[in-house]
């Protein structure tokens, strides 16, 4: 593909403009030209990255790369009177929408119930990507990709988008960014650097490894994760607590309590920090903790599997596909919340004044799984 860009504006001759010309003698103050060739005509690609410094022609290339302007605005077109769950593909399938939110790393369920204007920069970025995944355009250009978000969110967000987009066969996306640090996380099929006028394709890019360390801790770390958990319940009885860290930064949490009457343990309070959602650390962390218990290291040294209940569509899909988990139960809605609340009050220590609460009373389709590990 031959790229020929010539942008022109009026040649101003005001006092200040003339003075700038006399001081710096600029030759092309009112024009911008870019000519190059991109080896992408075969169409055998899904993600392209145009990266370079500001003012080097990225947006201009984005407007012409598909033969017409197909630039998508991730931040535009949101209804400030509706939560984002109602704005993304309003007539589409609910599970597809929630799955797209989880796929791009916006797994923070309470955020789904807020309007776009009430989200953080990182959440807005991921919500825009989720909407794009649901719309599934055949060809699209995303300008300012990751430009306004924290660099950690940018890297993990690029990773999550790449995995989700490449599952949409036959769709092409060109991402425009001024940040080079997302390249290895994104793993694009081709890269064009507008600063150095360099095109590369077919490079074997290895994603940076995420070294996850898991620590057995106590309940004091829960306060760091609680705001990202979608239920407000007392802590489980006789639980052990685990925190996963990356380079010393806490990124995920889970509590495990005995369920010996069912010959197992029960994992609960699984939370992954927003900036790490979509990187795959949550399932790796949970399965590592479950395997540790299955090896007989948990309370009572029982070599039992671990039960885990969830209504999260993305997590359900993963566990249904994985040989490490088997489906044990599924219910459409919760039971009598008052009965559960009374049980919690009876089993809670006198120091904790719990007068209400309980499980159930909701209309969540909850599925229960048991970790069995990889078959020998």
* Residue-wise pLDDT tens digits, 59-72: 999 989 998 889 99
CA distance linking residue 76 with residue 285, whole number of Å: 36
* 127 burial level (CB within 10 Å; 0-12, 13-18, 19+): buried
In a domain, 376, yes or no: no
Report the CATH number at residue 343.
3.40.630.30
In a domain, 207, yes or no: no
**Same domain? 186 vs 217:** no
**Same domain? 180 vs 66:** yes
**Same domain? 152 vs 102:** yes
**Same domain? 167 vs 235:** no
In a domain, 22, yes or no: yes
Interval 115-120 mean pLDDT: 96
**Same domain? 143 vs 246:** no
pLDDT at 350 over 80: no
Give the CA radius of gyration of the chain. 25
User: Nearest to residue 177, comparing CAs of 165, 156, 191?
Assistant: 191
Report the CATH number at residue 130.
3.40.50.300
User: Nearest to residue 307, comparing CAs of 237, 369, 221?
Assistant: 369
334's tokens: 């919760």
| 202-243 per-position pLDDT tens digit | 876 788 889 999 999 999 999 999 988 877 778 888 999 999
Cβ proximity of 104 and 160 under 8 Å: yes
Share of the chain above pLDDT 90, in %: 58
pLDDT at 219: 94
DSSP β-bridge partners for residue 173: 47, 140
Q: Are strands 47-51 and 31-37 parallel, antiparallel or unpaired?
A: unpaired
**Same domain? 195 vs 217:** no
341's tokens: 């609340």
CA distance linking residue 229 with residue 227, whole number of Å: 6
pLDDT at 323: 94
**Same domain? 126 vs 252:** no
**Same domain? 173 vs 256:** no
pLDDT at 253 over 90: yes
pLDDT at 341: 57
pLDDT at 355 over 70: no
pTM for the model: 0.78
**Same domain? 88 vs 178:** yes
C-alpha dihedral over 315, 318, 321, 327, to 10 degrees?
A: -20
C-alpha dihedral over 341, 345, 349, 354, to 10 degrees?
A: 80
Cβ atoms within 10 Å, residue 179 = 16
Domain boundary among 201, 232, 255: 201
In a domain, 327, yes or no: yes
pLDDT at 337 over 60: no
pLDDT at 171 over 90: yes
- Give the range of the structural domain holding residue 310, as residue numbers without chain letter: 212-371
More confidently predicted of 180 and 339:
180
- Residue 326 has φ and ψ, to the nearest 5°, of -125, 145
**Same domain? 179 vs 237:** no
- Token look-up 């890297």 returns 155
More confidently predicted of 205 and 16:
16
**Same domain? 149 vs 23:** yes
Cβ proximity of 369 and 307 under 8 Å: yes
In a domain, 252, yes or no: yes
- Residue 363 has φ and ψ, to the nearest 5°, of -120, 40
In a domain, 206, yes or no: no
- Token look-up 């919500």 returns 127
Domain boundary among 166, 201, 236: 201
Cβ proximity of 289 and 254 under 8 Å: yes
More confidently predicted of 278 and 87:
87
Domain boundary among 148, 181, 201: 201
pLDDT at 376 over 50: no
**Same domain? 308 vs 229:** yes
**3 state SS of 183:** helix
pLDDT at 348 over 60: no
CA distance linking residue 164 with residue 96, whole number of Å: 12
Q: Residue 309: CB partners within 8 Å, gap ≥ 6? A: 268, 329, 366, 367, 368, 369
In a domain, 26, yes or no: yes
In a domain, 330, yes or no: yes
Interval 87-116 mean pLDDT: 90
pLDDT at 347: 57
Q: What's the domain count of the chain?
A: 2
**Cα 285 from chain centroid?**
16
pLDDT at 375: 52
pLDDT at 197 over 60: yes
């Amino acid at each position: 593909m031959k790229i020929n860009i010539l942008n022109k504006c009026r040649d101003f001759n005001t006092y200040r403009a003339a003075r700038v010309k006399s001081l710096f003698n600029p030759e092309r103050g009112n024009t911008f030209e870019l000519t190059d060739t991109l080896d992408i005509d075969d169409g055998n690609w899904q993600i392209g990255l145009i990266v370079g410094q500001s003012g080097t022609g990225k947006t201009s290339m984005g407007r012409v790369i598909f033969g017409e302007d197909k630039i998508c605005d991730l931040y535009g077109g949101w209804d400030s009177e509706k939560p984002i769950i109602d704005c993304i593909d309003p007539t589409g399938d609910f599970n597809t929408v929630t799955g797209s939110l989880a796929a791009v790393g916006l797994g923070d369920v309470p955020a789904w119930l807020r309007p776009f204007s009430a989200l953080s920069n990182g959440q807005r970025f991921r919500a825009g990507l989720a909407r794009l995944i649901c719309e599934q355009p055949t060809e699209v250009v995303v300008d300012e990709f990751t430009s306004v978000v924290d660099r950690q969110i940018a890297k993990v967000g690029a990773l999550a988008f790449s995995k989700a987009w490449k599952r949409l066969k036959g769709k092409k996306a060109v991402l425009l960014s001024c940040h080079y640090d997302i390249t290895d996380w994104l793993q694009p099929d081709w890269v064009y650097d507008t600063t150095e006028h360099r095109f590369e394709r077919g490079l074997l890019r290895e994603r940076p490894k995420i070294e996850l360390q898991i620590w057995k801790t106590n309940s004091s770390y829960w306060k760091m994760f609680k705001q990202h958990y979608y239920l407000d319940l007392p802590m489980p009885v006789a639980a052990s607590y685990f925190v996963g860290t990356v380079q010393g930064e806490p990124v995920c949490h889970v509590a495990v309590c005995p369920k010996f009457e069912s010959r197992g343990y029960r994992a609960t309070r699984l939370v992954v920090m927003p900036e790490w959602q979509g990187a795959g650390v949550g399932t790796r962390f949970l399965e590592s903790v479950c395997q540790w218990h299955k090896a007989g290291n948990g309370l009572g040294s029982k070599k039992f599997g671990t039960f885990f209940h969830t209504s999260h569509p993305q997590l359900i899909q993963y566990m249904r596909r994985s040989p490490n988990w088997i489906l044990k139960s599924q219910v459409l809605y919760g039971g009598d919340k008052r009965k559960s609340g009374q049980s919690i009050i009876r089993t809670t220590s006198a120091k904790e004044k719990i007068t209400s609460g309980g499980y159930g009373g909701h209309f969540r389709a909850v599925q229960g799984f048991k970790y069995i590990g990889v078959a020998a």
